[in-house]
Chain A
Amino acid sequence: MIWNSAADFFAMGGYALYVWGSFVVTAAALAIEIIGLRRRRRAALADLRRERSARQVSKARV
């Protein structure tokens, strides 16, 4: 272990803004992409179900 304390770790030798600004934004960007993809999948499946039930209704009417 190279750090003396947790405060030492978070201070990053005075480069806290730059180092954490890089790591946190990277992690956030990847997380947002995955959340967005999950939403897109749910929306696509819901769309398909809606279309399917609509088709069944119109078939039943004929």
Chain B
Amino acid sequence: MSNRIVNWFRFSSPQTFYPLAGRLLPWFAGSAAVLGAASLWLGLFVAPTDAQQGEGYRIIFVHVAASWMSMFIYVVMAGWAALGLIFNTRLSSMMASALAPTGTLFAFLSLWTGALWGKPMWGAWWVWDARLTSELILFFLYLGFIALQAAIDDPRRADRAGAVLALVGVVNVPIIYFSVYWWNTLHQGASVSLTKSPSMAHTMLWGMLLMALSFWMYAIAAALMRVRCIMLERERGSAWAGELAEAAQ
């Protein structure tokens, strides 16, 4: 009976996950490149000019995808952190640490592209609007998570402290998402709704969705690359890491 059940905890050991991550990496990186190229083609060459915003609206293709990823990665990061906290599995905590810098990057890109969009359309790089402010808080939560883990020498204690911070911060994600409904914001409402048919041209919608998928694949590839580095750094005393370094020469 017992050998019919897939032992998922087997993959929670860095020694077994390291080669698996290495095999998966090229697939995620490749699909990120292909989807990204398709999205750029649709977004820059096929999608029509917007009636109100002219060509300025094309920022949407990176802005919306980066913003979605910044929130999504945070939730996934907090999920891994929670698993690490509950089951005390090293790999879960390593995955949380591996996702944090990529999430920070997307939160920064969301704010950056938002500023570049706000200036021509609203006349301001920044306003203290509920949507913008809660996204800025998300960016600081990521930075806080990274800084807290970096400040604690013992990796297992750093994992636990970071996990608590990540879990408390999860409350901010629905605030970002619903901010445009809860408060009277300058920021526009949701670009895509699951319940209504899309109000924008299909090529615009597809360009945006493909970019989001591309960023998703990119984020997985980057997190796998980083988790492999973290494994090598943390498992430095183990025999498998040493042999691996020898073989990689």
Total interface residues in chain B, CB < 8 Å: 41
Task: Please name all residues of chain A whose beta carbon is closer than 8 Å to the beta carbon of B241 when the two chains form the complex.
Answer: 48
A12 CA to B244 CA, complexed, in Å: 50
Q: Which residues of B in the span 215-249 have a Cβ within 8 Å of any Cβ on A?
A: 218, 222, 225-226, 228-229, 232-233, 236, 241-242, 244-246, 248-249
Task: Please name all residues of chain A whose beta carbon is closer than 8 Å to the beta carbon of B236 when the two chains form the complex.
Answer: 47-48, 51
Q: Is B244 in contact with A44, judged by CB distance below 8 angstroms?
A: no
Q: Is A48 in contact with B58, judged by CB distance below 8 angstroms?
A: no
Task: Please name all residues of chain A whose beta carbon is closer than 8 Å to the beta carbon of B123 when the two chains form the complex.
Answer: none
Q: Is B218 in contact with A3, judged by CB distance below 8 angstroms?
A: no
Q: Is B225 in contact with A34, judged by CB distance below 8 angstroms?
A: yes
Q: Which residues of B in the span 47-68 have a Cβ within 8 Å of any Cβ on A?
A: 47-49, 54-56, 58-59, 62-63, 66
A interface secondary structure, majority: helix
Q: Is A49 in contact with B229, judged by CB distance below 8 angstroms?
A: no
Task: Please name all residues of chain B whose beta carbon is closer than 8 Å to the beta carbon of A44 when the two chains form the complex.
Answer: 229, 232-233, 245
Interface locus among B2-10, B73-81, B111-119, B129-137: B111-119
A18 CA to B246 CA, complexed, in Å: 48
Q: How far is the CB of A9 from chain B (nearest CB, A)?
A: 8
Q: Is B226 in contact with A37, judged by CB distance below 8 angstroms?
A: yes
Q: How far is the CB of B215 from chain A (nearest CB, A)?
A: 9
Q: Is A29 in contact with B225, judged by CB distance below 8 angstroms?
A: no
Q: Is A19 in contact with B246, judged by CB distance below 8 angstroms?
A: no
Known: A15-B56, A15-B120, A26-B62. A48 touches B45 (CB 8 A): no
A16 CA to B249 CA, complexed, in Å: 46
Q: Which residues of B in the span 94-147 have a Cβ within 8 Å of any Cβ on A?
A: 101-102, 105, 108-109, 112-113, 116-117, 119-120
Q: Is A51 in contact with B109, judged by CB distance below 8 angstroms?
A: no
Q: Is B55 in contact with A41, judged by CB distance below 8 angstroms?
A: no
Q: Does A62 contact B (CB under 8 A)?
A: no
Looking across the interface, which residue of chain B has its beta carbon closest to that of A8? B55
Interface string of A21-36 (1 = CB under 8 A from B): 1110110011001100
Q: Which residues of B in the span 187-234 have a Cβ within 8 Å of any Cβ on A?
A: 218, 222, 225-226, 228-229, 232-233
17 A/B residue pairs, CB under 8 Å, sorted by A: A2-B45, A9-B44, A14-B54, A19-B56, A19-B58, A25-B109, A26-B66, A26-B109, A29-B105, A33-B105, A37-B229, A38-B225, A40-B226, A44-B233, A48-B232, A48-B236, A52-B245
Question: 14 extra interchain contacts, Cβ-Cβ under 8 A, other than A15-B55, A19-B116, A34-B222?
Answer: A15-B54, A17-B116, A18-B56, A18-B116, A22-B63, A26-B62, A33-B102, A38-B225, A41-B228, A44-B232, A48-B232, A48-B236, A51-B242, A52-B245
Closest 6 pairs (CB-CB, A-B): A13-B55, A48-B245, A15-B56, A44-B232, A22-B113, A12-B55
